Structure 1
């Protein structure tokens, strides 16, 4: 049986949240008892881990998503959208007791801000998900968001030699950086986490996260670009990529997916951050969080030794 190029790529598994988002573009936020005409209205897939999986898949990476949706139409759409992006959904489970995650997002053109009203999706439990365990045993990397990490942490014995990436954009109760190979928060979240340092200096904050156990730390700062601290202690700053911003919805999730795909392909930390900055900026040209994600026409570059599914190294610099 002939093996395809995609089958030889390292497997990147994304665990956590998937939603259906309804996004409305308005001139300004509506007041109480008012009727507002939207300039545009879009329904699209969302969720931190799911959008990161789509972004990684569009680089040519081999990806899978693990999460739980309801048995409703939103759940069917979530799964279909991921399948259309060539994301493996074999480990997605359906809940008969909870509806799928969904959000209403109001994007105000005045001030370029947004407001999100969300319905959380079903609880995520990996303990009895045999398909999830199979994927995790084959994974080179596992990326978890704020719902994925608690579910992953709840497993006493996780098979496989994967490296762990964590989306630090949202608070995670009880979270520990011990054993985290790649930690990607916003610079604001990093400052809140290490507030005892009383410093807003990115270098100080990234070193605080490294000292707490993370092997590699990359913090995003919107228009200020991103900062990275690799395993060898080298600090990297990559300026923001210029783009025409329509909405920043999902930009951080896109950054995470492309950053991980680029690192898994063996690119240097600075180059991976540049790839992620550019993809995130381009995604902001669309109203939703996915349709603007750039798509590459060639698969991610393989490092020697990654064909078997073993993780490639992170090279700082």
Structure 2
């Protein structure tokens, strides 16, 4: 049966400049080309979940502008329910400026806009959705206070909450108290815990730190090394798939959305779900753009069968 997932998070229109290399401080360089596409960590994660077969809702904010209309329509094209996307009359829709080099690496500047202006008002009609869903996912591109309130409400309905603390910065203590699964990368984990990720022991210590804060399940993404997981069912590593990356934008978001689409509520199938999520992410990095590069469930399953 298809999973039911809501994503509370950011909506951005991504503009990508394609360059041979990143500029030095004070240097002006030429971009070979420029492209625009729907994006934002929250929107990407929702699309990844929906394309992998999950029934998906989105909770967020856009501006009263063309970009906001464009983003709502983009989500609807993937059959994502957008009724809980509010319209902010004072702030524009979020945007991201991405510089992508010839090796497929990127740096990103984000204008939060309506994403950062979001308040708990966006949750006023969310109870009916929380009553239906299996998982609620959020990130750090929208206010943590809104996420904390959403997670608290969702927990009252028996929903499993998933936090992707990216981009990493100081975390509200109460947020982790309502978090079931936390999914940072190694650098984000270090920012939050102060524990440098070097080996299995450091990852287990990180898992214990998160557990003491309230989050019982930890997944640390390690790029080309794979994913470490620690849950009450056990811990281990799931290796990454080796591919040539063209554009790493949305790789992590694809991983999280795809993972949630496969995960059992009690996380008992976490290792298998991680293999699926890793494969989905490996397909994303082989194409250009954020949302356009996210694979369907059929594409992931075909790749796994190779």
RMSD value, Cα = 2.4
- Extract unaligned runs of 5+ from structure 2: 302-306
Deviations 1:84-133 (A, max 9, x none): 011111110101100000011011115x4322122112111233644333
Q: Would the alpha carbon gap of residues 156 and 62 (structure 1) be closer, same or farther in structure 2, given more than 3 Å must change?
A: closer
Cross-structure match for 1:55 = 48
Deviation string 1:48-93 (CA, Å, 9 cap, x unpaired) is 1111010010111111110000011111111111000111111101
In structure 2, do the counterparts of structure 1 residues 78 and 144 end up closer, same or farther at CA, with 3 Å as the change threshold? same
Partner Cα distance (1:163, 1:208) in 2: 20
The match for 2:279 is 278
Aligned with 1:105 (options 93, 98, 103): 98
Aligned to 1:217: 218
The alignment of Structure 1 onto Structure 2 pairs a total of residues equal to 288
Q: Could you say if the C-alpha distance between residues 192 and 44 of structure 1 is closer, same or farther in structure 2, counting changes exceeding 3 Å?
A: same
The aligned residue for residue 112 of structure 2 is: 120
Unaligned runs of 5+ in 1: 1-7, 301-317
| Partners of 2:285 and 2:211 in 1: CA distance | 30
1:213/1:85 CA distance change after superposition, 3 Å: same
Q: CA deviation at 1:236?
A: 1.7
User: Which of 6, 10, 29 matches 1:17?
Assistant: 10
Counterpart-to-counterpart distance in 1, 2:196 and 2:293:
37
Aligned to 2:229: 228
* TM-score normalized with structure 2 length: 0.86
CA 1:183–1:67: 2 relative to 1, 3 Å: same
Q: Is the 8 Å Cα contact of residues 17 and 121 (structure 1) preserved in structure 2?
A: no
TM-score by length of 1: 0.83
Query: Any residues of structure 2 matched to 1:182-261 within 5 Å, and which?
Result: 182-195=181-194, 197=195, 200-201=198-199, 202-232=203-233, 234-261=234-261
Q: Determine whether 1:173 maps to 2:171.
A: yes
Partners of 2:124 and 2:77 lie apart in 1 by: 23
- For 2:235 and 2:122, the matched residues in 1 are separated by 41
CA contact (8 A) 2:210 2:218 kept: yes
Residue 262 of structure 2 corresponds to: 262
Aligned to 1:309: none
Contact 2:250 2:290 in 1 (8 A): yes
1:67 corresponds to which of 53, 56, 60: 60
Higher helix share: 2
Deviations 1:194-240 (A, max 9, x none): 21x566332332233233321211110111111001123x1120111
| C-alpha distance 149-14 of structure 1, shift in aligned 2 (>3 A) | farther
> CA-to-partner distance for each residue in 1:256-314, whole Å, 9 max, x for gaps?
1111111148771101111111111111112212222221249x9xxxxxxxxxxxxxx
Q: Write the distance in 2 (CA, Å) between the matches of 1:216 and 1:292.
A: 29
**Cα deviation code 1:120-172 (max 9, x no counterpart):** 12111233644333212322211111126421324697252211111123225
CA distance in 2, matches of 1:244, 1:262: 25
* Kept in 2: contact 1:12–1:61 (CA 8 A): yes
What CA distance in whole angstroms lies between the structure 2 residues aligned with 1:223 and 1:249?
15
